[in-house]
A and B are shown apart, each in its own frame.
Chain A
Amino acid sequence: MALAQDKQTTTPDIFRQFSEHVVKIEVVETGSAAKATIGTGFYADAAARIVTNYHVVSKLIHSPERYRIEITNTGGQTSQATVLGVDVVYDLAVLHAPRAHKGFLQLAPIQIQQGTRLYSLGHPRDLGLTIVEGTYNGLLQHTLYPKILFSGSINPGMSGGPTVTQAGSVVGINVSTQGEQISFLVPVERAIALLERTAKVDSRTAASFLPEVGRQIHAYQSSYLAKTFVGAMPTLALGPYELPTKPAPFFRCWADAVRRKDLPYAVVNHDCSTDDYIFVSAEQSSGIVRFNHQLLSTGELNPMRFFSLYGGQLQAGKIGMIGNEEEVTSFRCETRNVALSGGKVRSALCARQYIKLPGLFDAMLRVAPVGSRNAGLISTLSLSGVSYDNVEALARRYLEAIKWRR
């Protein structure tokens, strides 16, 4: 009962006290005046700088000639804002608007316990400023970089908004959700660090941020890929093969099998993927490393027919990745039969380059061992937003990690 009373008294207070420092952020297409993105931001220091998510303003950074940023305060006054700094890896951006604003939300690293009640502010789906209650559930354990797990409903549009304690101190910045009250926050320390290294006044054009975005992604992917498929890692026995699995602690792996009575063959799938990814643009992200082992086996099909299935499945991966002509080049591929230490494989490596962030690539390596008459494996490694050095290094390490059981 005490808790319920507590809730009744504090939530309206929190909203009353702090909502005036929260703004709506819209990225508007200059030509048509159409809203391209809606998000939330908040005043974070005495210089009236505004913190939001990088993904809220990414369209402006990718096409500065096509978009502008408009911020609207709780009084309904609108002004145009400029970008002062970005942190792509943590999905943060610092903006500045010419209109003066008194007061700001307190950003300070504080120790809080799991279960502490927190309040998230934002503009869900442009429905007006909303306050959402939830609880603090600590930092995620399996991600490469820390994220706060917030058990409350953050919805699209609330991105970039603050999540505060009862005292109004910002704990994290709303960033993403998996639905069902599972939401994620960027820890406030990252926003403090970005504010520290960002200029107080705007001296840069929006266009100059794109190379910076590229540099940040480069640094990020090289730091985490350096730890992937390196050294002793767990292996998985699948049919006659011994294959890599969970190559670093920040990977998650799962498996499933298809054994249907109406099919003359069986399929076992083993998938691994990183949860960490960084938002590059609406159709691109970086840092996703995925791999999949698909074991095909049969006791019924003769070798010729089994290899029709095997070849068909191998070709089926020709389904592409998403992407458009402005962002990425077409794919180019190399196919060879390769002798690995334990046996021979058909191996195809395909890659494409990011047009606005040159030097970053999407790549896919597909490996299929040959020689067995009634078992086959299609193993696929996909990388997005990585440097070419890493495409080469990971492809090599992945091929070296494929072994045969004797």
Chain B
Amino acid sequence: MAPLGYIEILDPKGRVSVRHPIDAFPVTIGRGYTNQIILDDPYVCPEHVTITQSEMGRLVVDDLGSVNGLRTADDGKTVKNLPLHSGGKFRIGHTTLRYCTAVTPVAATQIDRIDLFSRLASPYIALAAGVVVLLALALDFFLANIDRVTVLRVITEPLVAISMMAVWAGIWSFVSRIVFGRLYYAQHFLITCAAMLVSLFFNESSEWLEFLVPNSHAVWAASVFGSAAILAVSVFAHLSYASGMRWTSRLYAGLLVSMAVIGVSAITEYANREKFSTVMEYSGVVKPMDARFLPARSLDQFMSRTAPLKKELDQLLQKAQTTQR
């Protein structure tokens, strides 16, 4: 026969440490060996409380005249007796107890993230990804550097970058450890590597776009939203292994973080543009390509851009004259 219910002894964090099945009432609880439930808490009396069932089937906890009394679990108030419902808690001495029956609801099942990606995320694959990123960073460094460079120098800077990435993945793993009790380090590191590779590719592409189509608002917007998307997706992916959020919440979190970053940089950009400066901000990107394929304006078209430039300078002049007056 199934028990009527369970008395659970909870640890300070609220987790169940011992669970006693109850087959009949009354149940006595205390430090003495005469009790059905024996507690090792020195602040509990040998015979502390008894749980009895009324004829109506209601349960009541009664204090048996203990030294430290019976307390409610929520606010710690001392009471003589306490009605006990399914899922209800009470405190004696330093121990919290809970009574549960078949009708007590349990928390939703947590998802164990052992999916296809997790099976791929073995330490070997993470290591291989690290090597790929290292090579990509080294190539990028080599192409951007115009001195005669040694292999050691080409590798050193990317190694520093890889170490930073490892630390970044480590911080996420720490969060995973707290939330799930598992590190998921390989997963976090793979996500970091993927974000880095995509960023490298994206930066190079946006430079080419800026070269092909200079002064274009569309290219500018694409590069801003591209970086934001990379950031949002990587936050989303990290959160998948570091939080129990639903996918929509993770998406919102990712978007929120990237929007915050865009917002801050947009404000800085705007403030810098409004501030007086003697520096000329033009786009000096050039790339090696056959000039035949480079889209270009005619000289007349270029010279026609000087009129809007003059208009901007007249607006700046007007603003300067009003503020100086």
List A residues at the B interface (Cβ < 8 Å).
262-265, 301, 303-312, 314-315, 317-326, 328-340, 343-344, 346-353, 355, 358, 361, 364, 366, 368, 370-371, 373, 376, 388, 391-392, 395-396, 399-400
Q: Are A309 and B214 in contact (CB under 8 A)?
A: no
Q: A336 to chain B: which residues have CB within 8 Å?
A: 214-215, 296-297, 301-302, 305
Residues in A neighbouring B308, C-beta threshold 8 A: 334
Residues of chain B within 8 A of A364, CB atoms compared:
280
Question: In the complex, which range does the number of interface residues on chain B fall in?
Answer: 35 or more
Extra A-B contacts (18), CB below 8 Å, given A330-B276, A353-B316, A366-B284: A264-B148, A306-B288, A307-B286, A310-B286, A323-B278, A328-B278, A329-B313, A337-B212, A337-B294, A338-B298, A350-B282, A352-B313, A353-B314, A358-B317, A368-B284, A370-B291, A371-B294, A396-B303
A311 smallest CB distance to B (angstroms): 5
Residues on A with beta carbons closer than 8 Å to the beta carbon of B313 = 329, 332, 351-353, 361
- State the B residues within 8 Å of A (CB): 142-148, 211-212, 214-215, 275-291, 294-299, 301-303, 305-306, 308-310, 312-314, 316-317, 320-321, 324
Task: Contact check, A337 vs B296: say whether CB atoms are below 8 A apart.
Answer: yes
Partner of B277, one of A264, A303, A331: A331
B146, B283, B316: the one within 8 Å of A264 (CB): B146
Q: For the complex of A and B, list the 7 residue pairs with the smallest distance between their C-beta atoms, beginning with the closest.
A: A371-B291, A320-B278, A314-B284, A348-B282, A303-B288, A329-B316, A333-B282
Q: Point out the residues of chain A lying under 8 angstroms from B295, CB to CB.
A: 337
| Residues on the B chain within 8 Å of A371, using CB | 289-291, 294
Q: Which of A301, A318, A396 contacts B281 (CB 8 A)?
A: A318
Q: How far is the CA of A43 from the CA of B64 in the complex (A)?
A: 119
Q: A347–B310 Cα gap in the complex (Å)?
A: 17
Given contacts A307-B286, A339-B298, A399-B299, contact A331 B280 (CB under 8 A): yes
The reply to whether A318 and B296 form a contact with Cβ atoms under 8 Å apart is no
User: Which residues of chain B have C-beta atoms less than 8 A from A335's C-beta?
Assistant: 214-215, 282-284
Listed residue (A306, A307, A340) with the most chain B CB atoms within 10 angstroms of its CB: A307
- Ordered by A's residue number, 13 sampled pairs between the chains whose C-beta atoms are within 8 Å are A262-B148, A265-B146, A301-B146, A308-B144, A329-B313, A334-B305, A338-B297, A338-B298, A338-B299, A346-B214, A348-B280, A348-B283, A349-B305
Complex Cα spacing A77 to B303, Å: 58
Contacts of B275 in A (CB 8 A): 330
CB–CB B289/A370 < 8 A: yes
CA distance A321 to B279 in the complex (A): 7
Q: Which residue of A lies closest to B321 (CB)?
A: A355
Q: With A317-B284, A350-B282 in contact, is A343–B291 under 8 Å at CB? A: yes
Residues of B within 8 A of A358 (CB): 317
Q: Do B280 and A329 have beta carbons less than 8 Å apart?
A: no
**Nearest-Cβ distance from residue A253 to partner chain B, whole angstroms:** 24
Which of B215, B276, B314, B321 is in CB contact (< 8 Å) with A325?
B276
With a cutoff of 8 Å between Cβ atoms, the chain A residues found around residue B215 in the complex are: 334-336
Give Cα A263 to B148, complex, Å: 7
Q: Are B278 and A331 in contact (CB under 8 A)?
A: yes
Given A346-B284, A348-B284, A330:B277 Cβ within 8 A: yes
Residues of chain B within 8 A of A346, CB atoms compared? 211, 214, 284-286
Q: How far is the CB of A323 from chain B (nearest CB, A)?
A: 5
A324 to B276, CA, bound (A): 8
Q: How far is the CA of A386 from the CA of B16 in the complex (A)?
A: 85
